Amino acid sequence: MHKLTIAEAAERLGVSSAALSTWESGKKSPTLGNLIGMAELYGVTTDCLLGRSNEPQGVFTSTHNTYAL
């Protein structure tokens, strides 16, 4: 498990802390690129982040790369 503050995670993702907070609260949704970045940062699939799977690891594909976790 990654224990990062919102400020640390936001810095690693290249977004503001405010933006990350709005995603986590559900007030706004991240772009596809930011969603993939969060999945990479936390070592989970995008499906896991979206609540479509309880399985944190697997394989997911972006338009540019395939990631095996």
The predicted model gives 65-69 an average pLDDT of: 45
Q: How far apart are CA 65 and CA 69, in angstroms?
A: 13
Q: How far apart are CA 7 and CA 51, in angstroms?
A: 23
CATH number of the structural domain 6-68: 1.10.260.40
What is the per-residue pLDDT across 8-39, written as a single tens digit (0 to 9) for each? Answer: 999 999 999 999 999 988 899 999 999 999 99
Output the pTM of the full model: 0.70
DSSP designation for 67: E
pLDDT score of 24: 85
What is the per-residue pLDDT across 35-65, written as a single tens digit (0 to 9) for each? Answer: 999 999 988 888 888 888 776 665 544 444 4
Instruction: Please name the residues in contact with 48: beta carbons below 8 A apart, sequence gap of 6 or more.
Output: 39, 54, 55, 56
Structure tokens at 43: 């070592």
Which sequence spans correspond to the domains of the chain? Answer: 6-68
Q: How far apart are CA 66 and CA 69, in angstroms?
A: 10
